[in-house]
Chain A
Amino acid sequence: MTAVTARALIRTEAASGGRTRLETLRSDPPLTLRQTGPRRVHLVSTGAGPLRGDRLELGVDVAPGTSLEVRSVGATLVLPGLADTPSVMVVRARVGAGATLHFSPEPTVLAAGCAHRLVVRLSLAEDATVFWREEIVFGRHGERPGRGHARFDVTVAGRPLLRQDLLVGEEAVDGSPAVYGDARCVGSTLIAGPAWAPPAVPDVKRERRAVLGDGWAALPLAGPGVQVCALGSDAVQLRERLRRGEQAAAIAPPPPGPAATRASAIPAPAPPATPAPAPPATSAPAPPGTSALVPPATPGAASARASRARAPGARSAGDSRAETGRLGP
């Protein structure tokens, strides 16, 4: 068993009529890419792993004005191997001006004995839009997880939006009620873009409010984005919670107010489907989750882009003062 190094690349370009064309689709086994729609690519794992010592890199380059959706056919099972070094998966993605990227692979499962490093570097242009979901499962059913360290760096026009590390399988964090509690998996979805920018004239001592559900929260970031974070006892529950959070986040975040909104205060989403391993390759309506990619279809949404004002209707009670304070400098 020898360590594998692979470099795969997806690159779009703008075609005539505002369409997106896949300019490059370079597979490098075990990272195999298949085009499954006009703007959709599936990662198809060929071969087991990654295993310790493997180094896999995926580059994603979404050209200005284009859009791309990246999914995977199945979960990634990270396995132990003979090498002393951890397996490494690096995803570098650039999303150009006015471009849109939807990235939602199936979960990464950290099998017992593995040592895995996941590095995501996501660079967004000022008005790029992204939906990025990551799910990590702590071992196969009934086993203790291997060790994992995921690092997620997101910048918008070079400014930091989100920098996070997640450590799994370390003594200090395992079973800590401060970190994962008794959850068996953790996930997050970043939804970012100009429609999620904070108000131009914020109340400096108050933040936008989160939407909180059972085991999940949609957290408005300091910059133009919302992160849904969720914990779950299994991958199905995790996905369901993330979906609920994603739906809450698709509505622009509640304005500053006395407290977070409980999820019961927002319309309950339709019962989520169980994670579908491979959606059919049609060009028909966006698959579940992508709805969050577009700004909410409310009357104010169109102007929201320009004015950075928030879409109306999501205002919580008792915050009229903060609202009016934002209308003008």
Chain B
Amino acid sequence: MDGDAALLLLSDSRLPAGGHAHSGGVEEAVRLGEVTGTGDLARFLRGRLATAGLVTAALAAAACELAAADRELGAGLDPGAPPENGAADGVPLWRRLDAEADARTASPAQREAARTQGRLLLRTARRMWPSAALDTLARAVPEGPHHPVALGAVAASAGCTPRQAALAAAYTSVTGPATAAVRLLGLDPVTVHRLLADLAPALGDTARAACASLDDAVPADGEPDECRAEEHPGRQPGRHAAWRARWRALPGHSAPALDLLAEGHLTNPMKLFVS
């Protein structure tokens, strides 16, 4: 299936999934005077894309891949039908992928914002593109999966490829903050969209790098892998280990300033954006 049209729907800022209320740290950066105009904003967006953008793109690609596999496992299952073994098997894997997102998000404020966005996206997407994978994910992480994990699963359900999922994640990692800056600083919207246009090649590069990282499969230097047979009694432990190994080396590019901004934002009683 060609996911191009679905990709447009998924990355449209009008997608009713709560994304419009997140500034990705821009509101706090504006409050502190760290972003005051288009020059600062351009550096902010570029840095955000190279860190949080890359990480979310990689997680989205991984989730898309897992959801597609889940779909194959659950092929022939009607969405909403009682889960068969294939779908039940997906629960620990989705939890693990979500834990990989946790490990890449040191800031609790950012984890909470990511889970809120993921929960809202999943709520919306389960009505737009119902699928067994989304049901499994919702069951696996009832508090709401990290946004990129939800985004990847939703992308797969909408017929997108992992690269398209990664592109959507990279795109939303900068468009939300850009729009917020327009609203908060009264910047010329065309000037800001010019910044986004300038970032287009970097968005493509980020999506490609994110997908490539899935195939890095760097041997984790003897990193021990948990072996918890009780999670999947009698069920393909090898398959689980293979998935887990695939996610270890995914990028975890951190942005200390974004962490500090996210935590500072929570203390702002006059905030207009969720994050």
Asked if chains A and B are in direct contact (CB within 8 A), the reply is yes
* Residue B123, interface by CB 8 Å: no
Beyond A153-B248, A259-B266, is A158–B49 a contact (Cβ under 8 Å)? no
B100 close to A (CB within 8 Å): yes
Tell me if A313 counts as interface (CB < 8 A to partner B): no
B47 contacts A231, C-beta separation under 8 Å: no
Please tell me if the beta carbons of B224 and A164 are within 8 angstroms of each other in the complex: no
List residues of chain A with CB within 8 A of the CB of B220.
Answer: 121, 153
Task: Mark out the residues of chain B between 81 and 126 whose CB falls within 8 Å of any chain A CB in the assembled complex.
Answer: 99-100, 102-109, 111-112, 115-116
Residue of B nearest to A203 (CB): B143
Tell whether A178 pairs with B251 under 8 Å between CB atoms, given A163-B103, A207-B111. no
Q: Mark each residue of chain A from 146 to 187: 1 if its CB lies under 8 Å from any CB of chain B, else 0.
A: 000001111101111111111100101101111111010010
A209 and B34 alpha carbons, distance in the complex (Å): 24
Q: How far is the CB of B250 from chain A (nearest CB, A)?
A: 8
What residues of B have a CB within 8 angstroms of the CB of A209 in the complex? 108, 266
Contact partner, A178, options B25, B107, B112, Cβ 8 Å: B25
* A172, closest chain B residue (CB): B50
Once A and B bind, how many residue pairs between them come within 8 Å at the CB atom?
176
- Contacts A173-B47, A207-B111 known; A158 to B264 CB distance under 8 Å? no
Stretch of A13-21, A38-46, A215-223 on the interface side: A215-223
Query: A232 CA to B205 CA in the complex, in Å?
Result: 31
Interface size (B, Cβ < 8 Å)?
58
Q: Does B20 contact A (CB under 8 A)?
A: no
B253 touching A178, Cβ below 8 Å: no
Q: Give the residue of A90, A159, A179, A220 whose beta carbon is less than 8 angstroms from that of B256.
A: A179
- Partner of B266 from the list A216, A227, A260 (CB cut-off 8 Å) is A260
Considering residues B34, B256, B264, which has the most beta carbons from chain A within 10 angstroms of its beta carbon? B256
The residues in B between 37 and 56 inclusive whose CB is less than 8 angstroms from any CB of A are 40, 43-52
B47 touches A162 (CB 8 A): no
The reply to whether the CB of B135 lies closer than 8 angstroms to some CB of chain A is no
Q: Which of B45, B99, B107 counts the most A-chain CB atoms under 10 A from its CB?
A: B107
Asked if residues A210 and B107 are in contact (CB atoms below 8 Å), the reply is: yes
Known A121-B223, A178-B25, A221-B106; judge A160-B100 contact (CB<8 A).
yes
- In angstroms, Cα B43 to Cα A154, docked, is 30
B209 to chain A, nearest CB (A): 12
Q: Of residues A163, A165, A186, which shows the largest number of chain B Cβ atoms within 10 Å of its Cβ?
A: A163
In angstroms, Cα B266 to Cα A154, docked, is 27
Q: 10 interchain pairs (CB within 8 A)?
A: A165-B252, A167-B253, A177-B35, A178-B255, A179-B50, A181-B257, A216-B260, A217-B263, A219-B108, A260-B267
Identify 13 new A-B residue pairs, CB closer than 8 A, beyond the known A205-B115, A205-B116, A231-B260: A121-B220, A121-B222, A151-B252, A158-B224, A160-B99, A165-B251, A167-B50, A173-B51, A178-B45, A179-B257, A216-B260, A223-B102, A230-B256
